[in-house]
Chain A
Amino acid sequence: MTTEEITEKLRTIIEPYVEEKELLNDIKPETDLLEDLKINSANLVDIIIDVEMAFDIEIDDDAAERMLKVKDAVSIIQERVEA
């Protein structure tokens, strides 16, 4: 999968957890999931579970810890999809 395809799929996964939908209009690799998209930390676990199911991968604690920005999430997903 290309970076763009992963980013688009990730955006669909994140969307239900973003209360202010206009924040989704300007997603960049540097976008921080908590600080910029205002996702509640209680939903980060939900997003990780959704990502695991959508991409059929496993995200362990060490990888979850690094999933702070969109680019981190995309690279973690890409590594596992290609493994």
Chain B
Amino acid sequence: MIGNDIVDLNYARHTSKASHPRWAEKVLTAQEKEQLKLFPSPASALWSFWALKESAYKIFYKKTGKRLFIPKKFQSSLTHIQPDFLEACIESPLGKWYGQVQISSDTVHALAVTQKKLFQQITYQTTQLKQTTSSHQSSETRKSLCLKLQQQCRLPAEEFRIESPRYFPQVFVKNKLLPIDVSMSHHHQWGAFAFLQVDQ
């Protein structure tokens, strides 16, 4: 199973209190705060931890249907650190999962998976959005996802419907649920999706 999350760093810089000491206190565990010290740029590192937690939370929600807004319940231990790429193990309430983060000057984009081998099977994409209202963010991200599904599954894009009857996105073709695990995310000017075919 997968989850993904994108953070628009320029927007976050202007709208969030992430630089406030209380923010890290509420979001990061003691171990994560220690790892944060390894980074020359704390802002992108802070948002990387956040995006990993959100990605893992999306898996948790898909599995349980429970809303659990306690970021510290998803603890990331970074196992590989490059300026533009991170790998992590994620301790979730449901067991050990894995994460990756791509860092650019504009965004951090995280993926979380329940099994490490799934990273090789994921298709994902980040897109700069034309409009920033939440309905446009969502519809534009859906459109990008449908186009990508069309390319991979060789079906007309208009035949795909992305709906969220259980409060997370699922892919339907003519009312039939496809065995594709998807995750969508958007934040101000950026949208992202990730998907993989599920073994049946």
Contact surface of A with B, Cβ cutoff 8 Å: 16-17, 19-20, 38, 40-46, 48-50, 52, 61-62, 64-65, 67-68
Contact surface of B with A, Cβ cutoff 8 Å: 7, 12, 15-17, 20, 22-23, 26-27, 50, 54, 67-72, 132-135, 187-188
Kindly state the separation between the CA atoms of A44 and B69 in the bound complex, as whole angstroms. Answer: 9
Query: Could you count the A-B residue pairs with CB atoms below 8 Å apart for me: how many are there?
Result: 53
Contact A49 B67 (CB under 8 A): no
Contact A42 B12 (CB under 8 A): yes
Contact B70 A65 (CB under 8 A): yes
**B12 contact set on A, CB distance < 8 A:** 42
B26 in complex: contacting residue of A16, A40, A49, CB < 8 Å: A49
Residue among B12, B15, B132 with the most chain A CB within 10 A? B15
Kindly state the separation between the CA atoms of A68 and B167 in the bound complex, as whole angstroms. Answer: 15
Contact A64 B133 (CB under 8 A): no
Residue among B20, B67, B69 with the most chain A CB within 10 A? B69
